[in-house]
Amino acid sequence: MGLKYTKIKGTRDILPEEYSLWRELLERAFKILRSYGYNFIVTPTFERTELFIRSIGDTTDIVEKEMYTFTDRGGRSLTLRPEGTAPVVRAYLENHLIPPQKLAYFMNMFRAERPQKGRFREFWHLGVEFIGVRDPSADAEVVELAYRLVHEFGVKEIKLEINSIGTVEDRKRYREVLLDYLRARKDELCEDCRRRMERNPLRVLDCKIDGPKLLDAPLLTDYLSQASKSYFEDVLEYLRRWGVPFEVNKRLVRGLDYYTETAFEIKSGALGAQDSVGGGGRYDGLVEELGGPPTPAVGFALGFDRVLIASGLQGYREPLDYFIAYLGDEAREKGFEVLQALRKRGKRAEISHEKKSLKSQMKLADRLGARYALIIGDEELARGVVKVRDMETGEEKFLKPSELP
């Protein structure tokens, strides 16, 4: 309170207790991703603004309102990455990686939105991009992997929704049909939807107000080509066979042009209005869009911050193996000696750097969660031992430093 320097709106500090949870969940994730053949990649925090404009397209709202864009000293327009797919594909092309590639990442992202529950201006994505393969089994594997991770993270009330959005051509045809339908009902639509209609008609169907009223609206599913339909059926068949519970949501869409075929989203009832913990799908158009050869790809991103909220898991403080307490200068020196030896053995050990009363030192030992307190005084010095106090039972015994457990 009254502090001059506080964190920027929409950012947050990850304190030690929460970080312990990050580490725990990330370790589980690394293990799983490794087993699926993924390799990790990290790209720069900022890129040319052009990269994102090209990948996101002409959705001006996003470009103008939601991105952190600035001009550097050379006059170039740069943008803090709002998502991971375009940078990873850029890195894939720029470094001449050979398909197929399974790339995973854990990186922070930036979007200039008003914060709300589970939505921050700086947030973390755990994602994967499987580049160079087009087969229903690849889509299904990516979906299954996302589901498995979310499950492994302990996210509560998981719901996996999936749909096919076909090809760009399929969507173009459908868009016209849907627009005709919506225009005919313009008067019944809410204010937002009337505005939304011309710019992004597919979104009108998941409007909280109008969506439920438009039950007889034409569905994208019915306008897919035969090839897309059977591709989707094959994806679902794999999921069934692998025991992944899903729900087909025929209104699930993606806004950008480079998306194709499979689209999915994982939601959790443990979140607020922003109830998606992650999503993904196939994007066969993007690699070419960014200047590479036509290359199929599929991937997903999980919102790590939301995963944490939806898992309900609490962090914990890392306990100490030993705390060394001493009485007098000579004992202090001996204490540091023992401390070094313990640390060399990989033990988590601490000492009171400031000379304080034994009582204060014991208090510190307790607060730091020490398993054992080692007490060194004149008596111990003379006998070449330390007094080992079990902080749980209060039991004490004398041991030579080399005999410590």
Partner RNA sequence: GUGAGCGUAGCUCAACUGGCAGAGCAUCGGACUGUGGAUCCGAGGGUUGGGGGUUCAAGUCCCCUCGCUCACCCCA
Binding site for RNA (CB under 7 A): 1-2, 6-7, 9-10, 52, 56, 59, 61-62, 65-67, 82-83, 85, 111, 113-119, 192, 195-196, 200, 203, 207-208, 254-256, 272-274, 279, 327, 356-360, 362-367, 373, 375, 377-380, 387, 389, 391-392, 394, 396
Counts of helices then strands in the chain (DSSP H, E): 14, 16
**Dihedral sign, CA of 195, 198, 203, 205?**
positive
Q: Closer CB to RNA, residue 65 or residue 151? A: 65
**Which residues, at least 6 apart from 341, have a Cβ–Cβ distance to it below 8 Å?**
401, 402
How far apart are CB 395 and RNA at their closest, in Å? 8
Which residue, 87 or 136, is less far from RNA as judged by CB?
87
Give the Cα separation of 279 and 302 in Å (integer): 7
Provide the residue type at 336 as one letter: F
Instruction: Name which of 33, 51, 52, 53 is nearest 41 in CA terms.
Output: 33
Q: Which is nearer to RNA, 28 or 194 (CB)?
A: 194
- Could you tell me the smallest distance in angstroms from the CB atom of residue 272 to RNA? 2
Tokens 């919102």, located at residue: 303
How far, CA to CA in Å, does 59 sit from each of 33, 208, 290, 329? 33, 22, 17, 69
Query: Please, which residue, 85 or 238, has the CB nearer to RNA?
Result: 85
**Nearer to RNA among residue 126 and residue 238 (C-beta):** 126
Smallest distance, RNA to C-beta of residue 118, A: 7
Residue 262 burial class via C-beta count within 10 angstroms: exposed 0-12, middle 13-18, buried 19 and up: buried
Which DSSP helix (H) or strand (E) runs through 18?
helix 16-35
Work out how close the CB of 387 gets to RNA at its nearest, in angstroms, rounded to a whole number.
4
Q: In whole angstroms, how close is the CB of 112 to RNA at the nearest point?
A: 8
Closest of 368, 349, 135 to residue 235, by C-alpha = 135
Q: How far is the CB of 240 from RNA (least distance, A)?
A: 26
CA distance readout (Å), 54 to 8, 70, 73, 287: 29, 17, 23, 11
Residue 28 vs 159, nearer CB to RNA: 159
Tell me if 77 sits within 8 A of 71, measured CB to CB: yes
Question: Smallest distance from the beta carbon of 230 to RNA, in angstroms?
Answer: 25
Q: Which lies closer to RNA via its Cβ, residue 62 or residue 217?
A: 62
Q: How far is the CB of 398 from RNA (least distance, A)?
A: 9
Q: Decide whether 158 or 286 has the Cβ nearer to RNA.
A: 286
Strand partners, 323: 350, 373
Question: How far is it, in rounded angstroms, from Cα 390 to Cα 372?
Answer: 5
